Amino acid sequence: MDINSIKGTGLTSQSSREKLIHELKGLGIKNPEVLNLISNMPRHLFLDTALANRAYENVSLPIGFKQTISQPYMVAKMTELLHETNSMNHVLEIGTGSGYQTSILSMLFKKVTTIERISTLHEQSKKKLNHLGFKNISFILGDGHLGFLNNAPYDAIIITAVADDLPETLVNQLSPTGRIVLPLMHKGEQKLTKLKNTKNGIIKKIIEDVVFVPMLKGVENT
Judge whether 98 counts as a catalytic residue.
no
- Nearest partner of 144 among 129, 155, 158, judged by Cα: 158
Residues 6+ apart with CB under 8 A from 55: 12, 43, 44, 46, 47, 61
Angle at 30 between CA 109 and CA 113, to 5 degrees: 20
Contact criterion met (CB below 8 Å) for 21 and 39: yes
Q: Where are the alpha helices (DSSP H) in 110-218?
A: 119-132, 168-171
What is the separation of C-alpha 135 from the centre of its chain, rounded to a whole number of angstroms?
17
- Nearest partner of 8 among 35, 46, 38, judged by Cα: 46
Q: Is the preceding omega at residue 176 within 30 degrees of 0, hence cis?
A: no
Separation between Cα atoms, residue 9 and residue 25, nearest integer Å: 21
Exactly one of 60, 70, 98, 125 is catalytic; name it. 70
Q: Which residues are catalytic?
A: 70
